[in-house]
Amino acid sequence: MKSLDHLKMEITELFPDGTSINSKGHFEIGDVDLVDLANQYGTPLYIYDENTIKNICYEFIHSFRKYWKDTHILYAAKAFINKPLAQLMMSENLGLDIVSGGELAVAQSVQFPPSSIYFHGNNKSKDEISMALDYKIGRFVVDNFAEIELLTELCQKKNVVQDVLLRLSPGIDAHTHVKTTTGILDSKFGFSIVTGDAMDAVSSILKSKNLNLIGFHCHLGSPIFELEPYKLGIESMMEFISSTITMGVDFKEFSPGGGFAIRYLKTDKPPQVESYAKMIVETIVKECSKYDMSVPKIVIESGRAIVGRAGVALYRVGSTKDIPNVRKYVSLDGGMGDNIRPSLYGSKYQPYLVNRVAESDSEKVTLSGKFCESGDILVEEAVLPQLHEGDLIALPASGAYSPAMASNYNLNPKPPIVLITKNGTSKLIRKGETYEDLMSFDVL
Ligand SMILES: Cc1ncc(COP(=O)(O)O)c(C=O)c1O
């Protein structure tokens, strides 16, 4: 048997707040037994914990405001958004970073305050830009020359002046997976400082009567486990920004983006939110003083760190294939359709047996998904107790970029999502898809 005290310590930083082990030897979150949830809603199942999201929002707001009062925390909707989540972020006083008309539509449906919406993206369409202008969103984060032209043209037509930030590419490697690094020269995002594009973009926006350049943005990548890349990125940006002031830029806002890391494995050691805040704010203040600029409003946009740990994926064990001296595959009832991250980026997760949590680990297995790809592996080397058909496996830290990137590959319906509410009950916040849903767009 495992030491429960040790296990309880281990799960505190991987699972949502209030996760514990009940008298039946099951995991529960806020008094809700995960085995009961799996029986009630079926598996795969995604579970989010409201309390944890609220606590993390509070932690972000207070950590950054401790160092700089004029800070605005945005939730990066791409990590996962639907109507209830948008409502929750609104009630926690977060703004919203959106990247598509779809994310904007969700925001509009809950009357998210337009002034705290920031529109990102490297290829915003005419329709998306029009929709956002009509909703009078606060800021466009302008990414490229074509967007400057298109946005100017649409603003002229609608006779509006739009506040914009310029997305810079500062040429800093944040040491993330190559598919999630965005601040280097070879990136599709933003205006490079080194090539001179960023300076040309400033000149071009300053000439536009319909665009009001109020600040600068960058996002280095995700997840960033070190503090140093933020320091280097901010230093590079501030040097550039200081040279734009004499051109007439009224520097009122600065955003170093998001990318804050969370713990996926027991061995991961991400910095505390407070440490990111200290490094970011102190660097901004120091650099502003160096170039004799007033410290602007700071805008932070975090996705993974706000909902990642609040979400848990639950799967049921199905078939097993043991290849002597090679590997034992244990198949789960989900996989790359609900969580593409392991196949796409080689992301790693720490799996736990949910229905007999205290049982000792006894074998190394590969947790495979049910999708028709050999690469559909959720956890390559999982050390777990002996598993049997029907057992329940939890993957903690599954709240960000899993349901958000889910697909219907092999025509598997996307799983339901439940929210454990602050009074310790659960409610469905997205229905599981049915086969009818899967065919509902087909035209015979
Ligand atoms: C521009 C921008 N801001 C913020 C984020 C959020 O990153 P994270 O979820 O790691 O905080 C992303 C993620 O891709 C991004 O592209």
Q: In this model, does residue 414 exceed pLDDT 80?
A: yes
Q: Whose CA is nearest to atom 4 of ligand 1?
A: 258
pLDDT recorded at residue 440: 98
Q: Which of 55-69, 78-92, 175-189, 415-429 has the lowest mean pLDDT?
A: 175-189
Residue whose CA lies nearest to ligand 1 atom number 5 = 258
CA of 293 relative to ligand 1 center, distance in Å: 27
Which residues are CB-neighbours of 60 under 8 A, at least 6 positions away? Answer: 73, 273, 300, 302, 305, 306
Mean residue pLDDT across the chain = 95
Looking at 303-437, which runs of residues are DSSP E strands?
Answer: 311-323, 327-332, 352-353, 363-368, 377-384, 392-395, 417-420, 426-430
Please classify residue 110 by burial: count the beta carbons closer than 10 Å to its beta carbon, then call 0-12 exposed, 13-18 middle and 19+ buried: middle
Q: Is the pLDDT of residue 227 over 70?
A: yes
52/172: higher pLDDT: 52
Q: What is the pLDDT of residues 179-205, one digit of tens each?
A: 666 666 777 889 999 999 999 999 999
The number of angstroms, rounded, from the C-alpha of 430 to the middle of its chain's C-alpha atoms is: 18
What pLDDT score does 111 carry?
A: 98
- Give the pLDDT band of residue 170 (cuts 50, 70, 90): confident
Sign of CA dihedral 437, 303, 184, 100: positive
Among 64, 74, 78, 341, which is best to mutate for testing ligand 1, by the most ligand atoms less than 8 A from CB? 78
Token pair 């037509």 is at which residue? 157
257 Cα to the center of ligand 1, angstroms: 6
Q: What is the pLDDT of residue 127?
A: 98
Separation of alpha carbons 62 and 432, rounded Å: 36
Q: Ligand 1: which of 169, 301, 306 to mutate, judged by most atoms within 8 Å of the beta carbon?
A: 301
pLDDT at position 422 is: 79
| pLDDT of 217 strictly over 90 | yes
Residues 137 and 154: beta-carbon distance below 8 Å: no
User: Ligand 1 centroid vs 97 CA: distance in angstroms?
Assistant: 9
pLDDT of residue 214: 98
* C-alpha gyration radius of the chain: 23
Predicted confidence (pLDDT) per residue in 136-156, tens digit: 999 999 999 999 999 999 999
Ligand 1 atom closest to 222 (CA): 10
What is the arithmetic mean of pLDDT over 294-304? 98
Residue having the nearest C-alpha atom to atom 15 of ligand 1: 219
CA distance to 116, 118, 206, 223, 375, per residue, from 16 (Å): 27, 28, 46, 19, 29
* Ligand 1 atom with the shortest distance to the CA of 400: 9
What share of the chain has pLDDT > 70, as a percent? 98
Give the per-residue pLDDT at 185.
Answer: 73
Name every protein residue with a CB atom under 6 angstroms from any ligand 1 atom: 76, 78-79, 97, 120, 219, 222-223, 257-260, 301-305, 400
**Which residue out of 97, 176, 254, 255 has the highest number of ligand 1 atoms within 8 Å of its CB and is therefore the one to mutate?**
97
First to last CA, the chain: 57
Q: What are the pLDDT digits (tens) for 379-407?
A: 999 999 999 999 999 999 999 999 999 99
Alpha helices in 159-223 (DSSP H): 197-207
- Does 2.40.37.10 match the CATH number of domain 4-42+310-439? yes
Q: What is the pLDDT of residues 240-263, one digit of tens each?
A: 999 999 999 999 999 999 999 999
pLDDT score recorded for residue 205:
97
**Among the atoms of ligand 1, which is closest to the Cα of residue 217?**
1
For the annotated catalytic residues, the residue numbers are 372
What pLDDT was estimated at residue 30? 92
pLDDT of residue 11: 92
Query: Among 219, 280, 309, which is best to mutate for testing ligand 1, by the most ligand atoms less than 8 A from CB?
Result: 219
Cis peptide before 385 (omega within 30 of 0): no
The alpha carbon of 392 and the centre of ligand 1 are apart by a number of angstroms equal to 31
261-291 per-position pLDDT tens digit:
999 999 999 999 999 999 999 999 999 999 9
Percent of the chain past pLDDT 90, that is, above it, reads 92
**Residue 183 main-chain phi, psi, to 5 deg:** -95, 5
User: Which numbered atom of ligand 1 lies nearest the CA of 182?
Assistant: 16
pLDDT surpasses 70 at 178: no
Q: Which atom of ligand 1 is nearest to the CA of 259?
A: 10
The answer to whether residues 305 and 56 touch, using CB atoms and an 8 Å cutoff, is yes
C-alpha of residue 317 to centroid of ligand 1, in Å: 33
Of ligand 1's listed atoms, the one at least distance from the Cα of 180 is 14
Distance CA 127, CA 352 (A): 45
Kindly write down the DSSP assignment for every residue of 98-109, as one continuous string.
E-SHHHHHHHHH
At 189 the pLDDT is 85
Lowest-pLDDT range, 177-186, 209-218, 318-327, 368-377? 177-186
pLDDT of the residue at 423: 77
Give the distance (Å) from ligand 1 centre to CA of residue 153: 28
- Measured by CA distance, the residue closest to atom 1 of ligand 1 is 219
Fold of 51-307: TIM Barrel (3.20.20)
Which whole number is the average pLDDT over 204-221? 96
Q: Where are the domains of the chain?
A: 4-42+310-439, 51-307
Q: Predicted confidence band at 114 (pLDDT cuts at 50, 70, 90)? A: very high
Ligand 1: distance of its center to the CA of 39 in Å? 35
Residue with CA closest to ligand 1 atom 12? 258
Residue corresponding to tokens 């950590």: 63
Distance from residue 302's CA to the centre of ligand 1 (Å): 6
Ligand 1 atom with the shortest distance to the CA of 258: 11
Considering only CA atoms, which residue is closest to atom 16 of ligand 1?
219
